[in-house]
Chains A and B, each alone.
Chain A
């Protein structure tokens, strides 16, 4: 990964630039909402990326619970943190789109509320990891992650099974989308996924390094203690 990192970074920068160009120039203007609809090209791919990262967090947490592998625990932490960043983007761009379209910044609609709950679950997960010093923290966090992941399908399918104010799904929901819009949407998703992989890897690497440094510091203090 270390060798592939610069290549992937350049590729990601290119994809993000192309995605931005597509969203602002290439995609046709939606007839009802106008240019504000273009927020969709950042909002939706960010949500899908956040879901993927929370899925990685779920798998890594299960692996940790089964094998007690510290690398799986580090990956769970990294994916949750980056997932929260993407989920924050969703919660910020959504109201910016809603204000001119719905006339309000926020409503306690099922999809919106469940997304906020999802964000709060993973923020609690990160706070648990940050502030708990117990040796059981990784295990408690993994259990919380498994339970928290249950909210992801609820968020995704809430607009399928319940009548909500949130727009209906663009893919597989019975609606239709202009192929040029779909192309830009998928391009931006690919770009955000590559970006998420890069950031997640950096966070994972940082976590592994931090643990190694902490271990070395603990060994050094033990050694200096026994020397006295």
Chain B
């Protein structure tokens, strides 16, 4: 059971880490868009 749970947890850790990376990308872009709007 340890190996089974390790595999399932590893799967979701990888997916959640990637979703976090995407969320950071969106946040960075949002800041850049706000910066551009302020300039205008």
Contacts and interface: CB of A to CB of B under 8 A. Distances in A.
Given A85-B14, A220-B39, 7 more contacts: A42-B8, A43-B7, A92-B7, A93-B7, A199-B15, A199-B18, A206-B29
Given A46-B11, A89-B14, A35 B4 contact: yes
Interface in B1-26: 1, 3-4, 6-8, 10-11, 14-15, 18-19, 22, 25-26
Interface of A: 20, 35-36, 38-39, 42-43, 46, 82, 85, 88-89, 92-93, 96-97, 99-100, 195, 199, 202-203, 206, 209-210, 213, 216-217, 220
A80 B20 CA distance: 18
Interface of B: 1, 3-4, 6-8, 10-11, 14-15, 18-19, 22, 25-26, 29, 32-33, 36, 39
Contacts of B39: 220
Contacts of A213: 29, 32-33, 36
Contacts of B36: 213, 216-217, 220
